[in-house]
Chain A
Amino acid sequence: MNAAFLATLSLELLPAQLRDMVTGWLPEPWRWLVNSILAIAVILASFGLLFAYLTLAERKILGRVQNRPGPNRTGYFGLLQPFADGVKALTKEDIVPRGADHLLHFLAPVALLAFSIMTFAVLPFGRNLVAVELDAGVLYFFAAGAATELAVFMAGWASHNKYSLLAAMRALAQLISYELPLLLSFVPVIMIAGSLSTQEIVHRQSGWMFGFVPQWHVLTPWGFAGFAIFMTAALAESNRSPFDLPEAESELIAGHLTEYSGFKYALFFMAEYFGMCALCGMAVTLFLGGWQAPLPFLEFIPSYVWFATKMLTLLLGFIWVRCTFPRLRIDQLTRFAWKFLVPLALINLGTTAFWSLTSGWTGGLQIARWLVAIALVVIPFQLIGRKLSAGLGPRTYRYA
């Protein structure tokens, strides 16, 4: 054991040591309670801060892409902008329509935020950093995520506004349509890992091919397809552009959020970003090797840094997608989910079954296994894609 390794070990264990410093003096029966509260507080604080700066990063990057500076008046480089926004949202008047169902109108943002925060409990942020170790962790994650649909319905219905209700119906149609590919795309990971526990799934992706290629799921044909489907469905599930029809600012004002103002609106916004962070964290856990380092000699960097790096990369990818693609129409949106993503996800299940059954093949058969799996991914993608886009042709834009 050399000095460098010891230094890594201490950095790796730093969160646990800090926790023990705080709670170590407590009597044993109280320790787990304070430990849990501490974990909740740390998760809330770090993701709250991440939310604040993610909004700033998004506005800055969008500004760059659209050739304008973005917010730059509050603090140096606009760094205090999120806090100014927070104060603005808090002090704004909270308007509730007279005919609204007051209780449900109030409960909708609270329920949405609560469910999206609950999903963080099972994400493994580091080698020893997971708030709750559940045997069915992945299932818990998606069960908590599925409950957000209820909050959307409550928001739309309780506003007592027909446009809110119609928009909530559209939002629900989108959420339910994309729930299916989202759920189907992670089933292959469960098949290969043989476990629903998030830590176990990350552990299954450890080790190196040829000594330096990580054995992440995304680096296999089925894993790549699953990752692509998962990220597309995640974009739609978190109402992000190009799937942001439920609250298309320019056309619908804000969809089911029309009657919300002030801090309640900010809560919806917060829940959307939390959901996005949680889905990106899940994508990292399921497909990108979780907290594992991408190369063997980089293992000295603590695991939680790797998790954060990967998650931030995916989040920046979301922002990049937002400023690149135009918004879809509702019929294109649902057709894309049911005719493209769902069949591909189902075929991917078959590909994964093939991959799992042929895990014993070696030598030349190994190459054949890769070729067959790649063909099983690429050929259906091409065939279904061509069939769906037949007759739509490349569109020529004039006067633009």
Chain B
Amino acid sequence: MTLAFLAIAFVTVAAAAVAMALRNLIHSALLLVFNWAGIAAFYLWAGAEFVAFSQLMVYVGAVSMVVLFAVLLTQRSPQSFREQPDSISRVIGALLVGGAVLGVLFGAVLSSRLAPSAATATPTISVKELGSLLMGPHAAALLIVGVILTVTLIGAVIIASTDHAESGKDES
């Protein structure tokens, strides 16, 4: 059981590390997808079937496409990548942002109290219970997430459509 967890953790972290080291952005993006699949495997290991399959469907199926399209549409020739940073201020900014995110995540992980029996007892929650929990006590959170996603979607459509109209005017 622990061995399986260690294997999953190693593969997931290794995928992320290799993704950062590679120069080819598409390879990195595909390894990132692999990393997400590893997280899904971890959920499966932890007995959270529903979350694992949702993770696969949303991240491996949909978000991966967004990432790959973004990389393809913004990528210039491989030669245009510079290995040296532009200026000292950029380096400091990057380090500050990265350090802040790391600090927040570390603080959150360290300050969250874990139940001591979490590792031994495998919780078995059926999809039905999960659904009634989501629709009952956590309905507000679900609704807020739904509203945010809808607003994002409408915003994306508006940006895309106005952009299209302007470019049409330019051509004519």
A→B interface (CB under 8 Å): 101, 104, 134-136, 139-140, 142-144, 146-147, 149-150, 153-154, 157, 172, 176, 179, 194-196
Contact = CB atoms under 8 A, between A and B. Distances in A.
B45 interface: no
Contact of A140 (B26, B33, B53, B60): B53
Chain A to chain B: the 5 pairs with minimum beta-carbon distance, closest first: A146-B61, A143-B56, A139-B53, A143-B57, A143-B53
Contacts of B150: none
Given A195-B127, A196-B127, A143 B61 contact: yes
A286 to B, nearest CB: 16
Contacts of B49: 134-136
Interface in B20-39: 26-27, 30, 33
Interface stretch (B62-70, B84-92, B158-166): B62-70
Given A101-B26, A139-B54, A144-B56, 13 more contacts: A136-B49, A140-B53, A143-B53, A143-B56, A143-B57, A143-B61, A146-B56, A146-B57, A147-B60, A150-B30, A150-B61, A153-B65, A179-B61
Contacts of A146: 56-57, 60-62
Given A135-B127, A176-B65, A150 B60 contact: yes
Interface of B: 26-27, 30, 33, 49-50, 53-54, 56-57, 60-62, 64-65, 68, 72, 126-128
Nearest to B50: A136
A143 B62 CA distance: 10
A83 to B, nearest CB: 35
Q: Give the one of B64, B72, B127 with max A CB within 10 A.
A: B127
Given A147-B56, A157-B26, A136 B65 contact: no
A139 B56 CA distance: 10
Nearest to B40: A143
A248 to B, nearest CB: 22
B27 to A, nearest CB: 8
A150 B31 CA distance: 12
Contact of B50 (A101, A104, A139, A157): A139
Contact of A149 (B50, B53, B65): B65
20 contacts: A134-B49, A135-B49, A135-B50, A135-B127, A136-B49, A136-B53, A139-B57, A143-B53, A143-B56, A143-B60, A143-B61, A146-B57, A147-B56, A150-B33, A150-B60, A153-B65, A153-B68, A157-B72, A176-B65, A179-B61
A172 B56 contact: no
Contacts of A135: 49-50, 126-127
Contacts of A142: 57
B30 to A, nearest CB: 7
